[in-house]
A and B are shown apart, each in its own frame.
Chain A
Amino acid sequence: MREDMNEAAFTDGLDRWGSDLTSWPTQELGAARTLREVSADARRQLAAAQRLDSLLSSLPEVPANPALPQQALSLLGERNLLDRFFEWFFVALWRPVLAAVLPLLIGFVVGTSTALEDDLFTEELSLLAIALEAPNVEEDGDEF
């Protein structure tokens, strides 16, 4: 709970939360009410904010063209059974479907990359075995 408040903070509060002090955050409310009691400047600021808010609230409603609802209704397409099935499917099922498919995808990716590494390892072993079995042609020098 805020203990004290100066006029600048009070004015800032009026700008942020409006002239109805009851809509202010509770931790600011006590200090704001105290300041309003003791400061003529704060009361002047509050009166100005109330005047502005009252002018804003009294702006008249601007009614839509009375024909607009009927026009909108005429543009509505009937949602057929197929449309509604797709709506239901995409809204209700995409999460469980994703949850089911994701492990499959991860398994596929991991499996593919591991298989590749195994192949490379086997290939390296084969090459090493051939290299160990082959005669050392450079040492003999008879091949040329």
Chain B
Amino acid sequence: MARAATIERITSEPVLAQLVRARPRWLTWNWLGVLPFFIFLAFFQLGPALNIAVGALTDDRGHITLDNMQKIIGDEKLQVQRNSYLNTLEISVITTAAGGVLGFLLAWGITLGGLPRQIRLSVLSFCGVASNFAGLPLALAFIAAIGRTGTLTHALASVGISIYPAFSMSSFWGVCLAYTYFQIPLMVLVMVPPLDGLRSEWREAADNLGASRTQFWRLVMFPILLPSLLSALALLFANAFGAYATAFALVGAGAGESMVVSISVRAQFSNDSMTNPHLGYALAFGMILVIGLTVLIYTWSRQRAERWRRSIK
């Protein structure tokens, strides 16, 4: 009797319908709308990223190990790769500082500094274009300007100043110069909204309470701007650290391998029969770690800035 009832229950409703009814509560049809995107992301970003993480943290037999990562720090044979990390860190710090300062000054000029509205619009437009101009065209533009046979080089030489061979566009400082070029617009674009959010009433209030200009900047402006500044600088750093095209075009694959980590990673591509395939994974994973940390700082700072901005509305 019971057996007949069970058989009737199982066959009376299609199996698929029963499965659908038995699914967990949160798995609604709504997920279908976002599924294509997430599947795509899984294939084209999450999968590769996970693969790199696994490749970096395991050895040939599949056991988890920090060996690959430690080798970059310790192994003498990997001096080139180690140098690439140090050099890239240096380049990123230098260009973040330079781009940050110059970008901030320009951003300040077009917001609090009182430059005309038309100038502000033109600067913002140009920054939008300039930050997209980065990469190969930028490198070529710098070579055209102050490369060995560049127009500015010639112009300076004709008045007696010869910058070569002391300076070369294909060097560490050439790369720094080119990077600064796209760091400045990024800084401007990121700092203009927070600077716009500063109120002139605060300056009046400070004046009322007898604050000097220095005190105003040190005790009022700077603390307020600090989270936005920090997030902007973190973004610039991440930007510089992960850059590839500009350095590649200026320095080339050979010298670039010891100068920029991204070129170092790229160099691992052609090595199908390398002694340690995990080196490429470790280098790539290292990049993700460094930039990941920077982006964490960026996110945290931004949230602090947002929270503060909301609290004063």
Determine if chain A interacts with chain B: no
